[in-house]
A and B are shown apart, each in its own frame.
Chain A
Amino acid sequence: MPAIEVENLTVRYPTRRKPALRGVSFSVEQGESLMLLGPSGGGKSTLALCLNGLIPHSINAEVEGVVRVGGHDTRQAKPGQLSQDVGIVFQDPESQFSTLTVADEVAFGLENLAVLRGLMDPRIDEALGKVGLLDERSRRLDRLSGGQKQRLMLACALAMDTPVLILDEPTSNLDPEATNRFFRTLGGLRDERTLILIEHKLDACIHLVDRVLLLDGEGELVADGPPREVFSRYRRQIEQWGIWLPQVTELVLRLNPASDAMLPLRLDEAVEHFKKRLPYEAASPEEPPGTGPLIAPGARAFVLDKLSHTYPNGVKALDEVSLSVPVGDFLALVGPNGSGKTTLAAHLSGILQPEPGRVKLFGFEVTDLSVAELTERVGYVFQNPEHQFVTDRVADELAYSLRARLGRAGLASVEVSQRVDELLTLLGLEDLGPANPFTLSQGQKRRLSVGTMLAVGQRLLVLDEPTFGQDRRSSLKLMRTLQDLNRRGVTIVMITHDMRLAADYTRNAALLLDGRLVYHGPTRALFRQDMLLIRAGLWPPELFDLSLELQRWQADFPDLMTVNDFIAAFEGQGA
């Protein structure tokens, strides 16, 4: 008997015209491990909710077709029954908790199944042991790190001992180290359990996947097969729908778009693939890519002088950080969660007040600037774009700060609407002027929030994880907008965990560790600092690891970090 059978499943939400899923059919054997891929809003989460019966039992939706899990038809199953068949871990650990302490949280599911109290402790201990949280057993949940919280949710699902485990973007709130640890933990658990994974970070988890289901934007299942086969055959759709691929896979597809050779999915496979093409001969003895000017001379966008900050609860977030960033720089601000990145950014934007003499913005003492003067110079894009919306229309959002300055700068309202139109075009939101900001897609909201920060011509833009939770297409679109702005002279500081983006787009990087600045220099040179990276739990882009591996076979193989580096390097070398 298959673990899961889905026949002709169509799901419609009452408030939407188009169905979220259309005629989806597949079946999964016990012990298989599946990945659901598709553009955002393509029905992946809807499918997951159908499998554990939340649709239609808890979430109102019109369902046609049949879903059988462990032989039970989910529509006829009694409530509670399905939680014994399917365990699920969602995106945001914070909103999955039902209790206040670690052991209580694991027990919660067991209590719901009416497991006898005497039998709970061994199951709780076993589950916590598997995810490495046994020592935290009696801790309060609010004292756990993000990575621990998500591993706790995994333990909760494991304790229920369900044959099927679904993970719906379990690592989207985690930093790279915690993400890798999560998937290492999960990898160590591979057993007879059926695994269904929805995830953007394929580099970290592709080794766990036997099979890929590819959904299109209309909720139809277009492909079902081994990852290599699906990635190779549907490369065009995958690119078009903005789905992330493992970096090495993307690289090989970009290098030989026509090739039908075996696609590498993992680093070791990519090494094998490229080994055949060695020895690599540099086309000309020009300097290797990515060794641009260290820190340009000239005017400074901001200068920090021994900036320290201690929060009222005694946490020292910044410890004598000195940092000088030139006008026109594109800086990646990196470091593990809790290392002080956001605190530093908050000092640039006036959210936190530094002591006098610590922060200079474009040559001005920041404490001497009024709120208005500060916001004219610095834009700050928060992690959640909704936080920044203050009006009911997209166009008004963009016009808001302009109108506030109407009197002072003498901007006529014709100019305001001109500027708004310009921004709408720049952001790719042309037709959405009258829409309510809250009704936009995640990617559109993000771009709008960037736009609101540019309206009065801010020269420094600070972004807190701007690509957080975005699919590939909207991430790239946003990054191109930022690159474009940077070329026009806007200095950009971007907090990010995504080393791939940092390598692709930023010029310099600043690494914070426990509130101290431990590295400031070219982004590419950062990935050479092995000890720092290990201490910070940062993982260089997979492609850099690939060039390091290749250097073992050819000592003078250059440091290549991005797809474009490789393309430039291998161009004219033949396939």
Chain B
Amino acid sequence: MTVGLFEYYEASSPLHRRNPFIKLMALGIIMLVVTLDLKPSTPWFDPGVPLVFLVLVVACLTIFGRVPLLFIVRRLALLAFLTLPFLLFNAIYFDATQVASPTLLFSFGPWTAYREGLIGGLALALRILTFLSCSMVFVMTTDPSDFAISLIRQARVPYRFGYAILVSYRFLPIMRTEFDTIRAAHRIRGVGERTGLRGRLQQLRRYAVPLLAAAIRKSERTATAMDSRGFGGGPDRTYYRQVRVTAFDWSFLMAVVGLTMVLIEVLVFVGVVDGVALVPPA
């Protein structure tokens, strides 16, 4: 599959129209809340809370971001697969002495899996997945050009860095193509793909030299071209692309904060969680 996991999805939607920096802050808040220990009233609610957030984030992305649900779910499924090791390791390497009466699920050779460990692993995996889905919301609904300008104008990042981000964003697919070509070129030379650690390291070195040579040459050219067009010339610079923070952006941020708090209150009220702890219990 050539489509990237994290890729801008061109559309016109309320989420697409939000100021990138504000959007980043809003998503940051959700990510922070997901890391908190919400003192679940029963162990099963530990993974339950991030799951609620995950569902909500994905729903927002498809409803307010106009990204097709299937498009999101496909990528999430792949990411979920990547979080499996967290789940497994937690289940298997669970410290059974922490719990008064651990429930044994199964044991196989030197491995024993406890229900408590599995739940903990599930909670961790879902937290990671929620994190990733927040990043997905940002990447899929944010025009990279707007993001760079927003970093410069709202986040006060020096404009040279802002443009460095933009240029490297453009370089990624180019270097990817370059890498594929080098690989094909080496195969034609009769250089087989290596296996084993030593072979792989040698192979990396063989690819790295032409790849770096190309990258350095390209970036030098880009720097020369940018300089020749007056980049970095004066202290003042104007911006063609207008990336503003509107009143609506602020309301959006407030709404996200408010709704997150309401959601926690609701969870406390229905007795799913007992409250918020900043520090996980020892």
Contacts and interface: CB of A to CB of B under 8 A. Distances in A.
A95 interface: yes
Given A58-B224, A104-B241, A109 B230 contact: yes
Interface in A62-94: 78-81, 83-84, 86-88, 90, 92, 94
Given A57-B227, A88-B228, A387-B182, A111 B174 contact: no
B170 A388 contact: no
Interface stretch (A30-38, A112-120, A258-266): A112-120
B218 A95 contact: yes
Given A84-B230, A90-B221, A111-B240, A389 B210 contact: yes
B190 A114 contact: no
Contacts of A107: 240-241
A307 B104 CA distance: 59
B233 A79 contact: yes
Interface string B173-196: 110001001101111111110000
Contacts of A115: 238
Contacts of B100: none
A525 interface: no
A344 to B, nearest CB: 15
A97 B170 contact: yes
Contact of A80 (B214, B221, B225, B230): B230
Interface residues of A, number: 71
A108 interface: yes
Interface of A: 49, 52, 54, 57-59, 78-81, 83-84, 86-88, 90, 92, 94-101, 103-104, 107-117, 120, 124, 141-142, 156, 160, 312-313, 346, 349-351, 371-372, 375-376, 379-380, 382, 384, 386-390, 400-401, 404-405, 438, 452-453, 456
B199 interface: no
Interface stretch (B23-31, B44-52, B161-169, B265-273): B161-169
A438 B234 contact: no
Interface string B6-21: 0000000000000000
Closest 9 CB pairs of A and B: A80-B233, A83-B230, A107-B240, A112-B230, A96-B225, A95-B221, A387-B185, A375-B190, A109-B229
A438 B209 contact: yes
B227 A81 contact: no
22 contacts: A57-B227, A78-B233, A79-B234, A83-B233, A88-B225, A96-B221, A107-B240, A109-B230, A113-B234, A114-B234, A141-B170, A142-B170, A371-B190, A372-B190, A375-B189, A382-B188, A388-B186, A389-B210, A390-B186, A390-B191, A438-B213, A456-B190
Contacts of B218: 92, 94-95
Contacts of A92: 218, 221
Contacts of B230: 79-80, 83-84, 109, 112-113, 160
B248 to A, nearest CB: 22
B105 interface: no
Contacts of A113: 230, 233-234
B198 interface: no
Contact of A401 (B187, B189, B210): B189
B222 interface: yes
Contact of B214 (A52, A87, A120, A386): A386
B156 interface: no
Interface of B: 1-2, 144-145, 163, 166-167, 169-170, 173-174, 178, 181-182, 184-192, 206, 209-210, 213-214, 218-219, 221-234, 236-242
Nearest to B234: A80
Contact of B233 (A81, A94, A97, A405): A81
A312 B2 contact: yes
A467 to B, nearest CB: 19
Contacts of B192: 371
B222 A96 contact: yes
B228 A54 contact: yes
A100 B167 CA distance: 9
A98 B2 contact: no
Contact of B226 (A98, A375, A384, A453): A98
B236 A349 contact: no
Given A94-B174, A98-B222, A438-B213, A388 B234 contact: no
Contacts of A400: 189-191
A116 B239 CA distance: 8
A96 B174 CA distance: 13
Given A96-B221, A112-B230, A387-B185, A117 B240 contact: yes
B190 A160 contact: no
A79 B232 contact: yes
A453 B166 CA distance: 39
B214 A156 contact: no
A90 B227 CA distance: 12
Contacts of B241: 104, 107
A101 B222 contact: no
Nearest to B173: A142
A90 to B, nearest CB: 6
Given A100-B145, A387-B210, A382 B181 contact: yes
B242 to A, nearest CB: 7
Contact of A382 (B166, B185, B191, B232): B185
Nearest to B192: A371
Given A52-B228, A58-B224, A312-B2, A100 B239 contact: no
A376 B184 CA distance: 16
Contacts of B181: 382, 384, 387
Contact of B242 (A54, A108, A117, A456): A117
B231 A112 contact: yes
A112 B240 CA distance: 10
A117 B238 CA distance: 7
Contacts of B238: 110-111, 114-117, 120
A559 B242 CA distance: 60
Nearest to B188: A380
A361 B174 CA distance: 32
B189 A351 contact: no
Contacts of B229: 83, 87, 98, 108-109, 112, 156, 160
Contacts of A349: 188
A452 B233 contact: no
A52 B227 CA distance: 10
Nearest to B144: A100
A387 B2 CA distance: 22
Nearest to B240: A107
A165 B174 CA distance: 28
B68 to A, nearest CB: 17
A83 B182 CA distance: 37
Given A104-B145, A349-B188, 16 more contacts: A87-B228, A94-B174, A95-B221, A95-B222, A97-B222, A108-B231, A111-B237, A111-B240, A142-B170, A160-B229, A351-B188, A371-B187, A375-B190, A376-B190, A387-B182, A400-B189
B237 A386 contact: no
A452 B231 CA distance: 42
A54 B224 contact: yes
